[in-house]
Structure 1
């Protein structure tokens, strides 16, 4: 019987994932910009913020903690949508950029989904693109 970690996501460290979610649809809009690492860990998902992690913008510590949790919720949602069963992941936050008006829990959740998608691209390669057909000349 295989150990869960053998089949768990991610199979290896995926570093320097830049997850940006920017949606300009009026005021306020949505904005979140994080740089994270996905590290193999114990069962489940754990959030870590590196000591000295860069914060660009002004936000209270409690709100930042809440938004980071929303980011992890977005990662969870994307993994569930892709049918990933075994998860043994440490999400390590290294840089966070916030906007005074446009950042919110919703934008951080969306950025979490973006981060998970980017991790899949780095692990599995890009999704195959449909081939273009050449026009036949008569």
Structure 2
């Protein structure tokens, strides 16, 4: 990526969507989440909005999905700071909504969705990473 100093996120990033779907037999995985990434104090603050509920699901199971999503976000942001030493992470992540599948949703899928949400937010904030130029003959 880049070596110039920067702060993530550079501006509010609203409604960043992350989908994790893996169908390779049984068990499968499904997670869909929408989150906002807001500039904040240095570090990572994670919270869930009242709108990220799942009708008919026990509150404890939904809280476990929220926690897994937050874990994935933190893991990916820690990796970002390691790979890009000039990047300061100063973000509040608000999980706005989630969608589940009655059979294929589990915390691991939401952990992956959290990581994907960070990648999608980075793309939205900075665009795709530069591609290496082919060598001229």
> Structure 2 length as normaliser, TM-score?
0.79
Among 125, 130, 134, the alignment partner of 1:128 is 130
The equivalent of 2:23 in structure 1 is: 24
> Structure 1 length as normaliser, TM-score?
0.79
Larger relative CO (CA 8 A, sep 6+): 1 or 2?
2
Q: Deviation string for 1:20-41 (max 9, x for gaps)?
A: 0000011221110011101112
Name structure 1 gaps, 5 residues minimum.
1-5, 134-138
Name structure 2 gaps, 5 residues minimum.
none
The equivalent of 2:49 in structure 1 is: 50
Structure 1 segment 75-90 matched on structure 2, within 5 A: 75-82=73-80, 83=82, 86-90=88-92
The equivalent of 1:59 in structure 2 is: 57
Structure with the greater alpha carbon radius of gyration: 1
Structure 1 segment 86-97 matched on structure 2, within 5 A: 86-97=88-99
Q: Deviation string for 1:28-59 (max 9, x for gaps)?
A: 211100111011123322222223x1545642
Q: Deviation string for 1:78-125 (max 9, x for gaps)?
A: 122222563222111211101111111110010011000011111111
8 A Cα contact 1:14 1:37, kept in partner: yes
Distance 1:69 1:19 in 2: 15
Matched length: 127
